[in-house]
Amino acid sequence: MKIAIPVVNNQLCLHFGHCEQFALIDVDEETKVITKQELLTPPPHEPGVLPRWLADLGTNVIIAGGMGSRAHSLFNTKGIKVIVGAPVDYPEKIVNAYLNATLVTGVNTCDH
């Protein structure tokens, strides 16, 4: 499984489309262990670019603070599960909470 988390200053960025980088985290689903992590700078933000880019990188899940409904829909068409309302924290902590079913999410912080 590959999980993408938008980040700024090495923590989750609340506004998906305005992040500096994406933490891409590979996980062994059976052992619930992070096997690889990398930070990648996304291409310039334009409608439809990030869903295609992240899908091409093999992303299965996106965990974000907020995401607009159009982006959410585009990820769904690519077969990528989207989780919104995640708290600002370090990507490793967010992924570990997700894997252990302890990730507490709130409201989608994006209003468009």
Residue 39 belongs to domain spanning: 2-99
Here the tokens at position 43 are 């291409």
- Model confidence at 112, pLDDT cuts 50, 70, 90, reads low
CA distance 94 to 13: 12
The letter for the amino acid at 38 is: E
List residues bridging with 63 in a β-sheet: 83
What's 56's domain CATH number? 3.30.420.130
Answer whether residue 59 is part of any domain.
yes
Residue that wins the pLDDT comparison between 25 and 111: 25
Q: Which amino acid is at 4?
A: A
Domain count, the chain: 1
Provide the 8-state DSSP code for 93: H
**CB count, 10 Å around CB of 54?**
22
27-59 pLDDT, tens digit per residue, is 998 999 999 999 999 998 777 889 999 999 999
Nearest Cα neighbor of 103 from 60, 64, 58, 55 is 64
In a domain, 107, yes or no: no
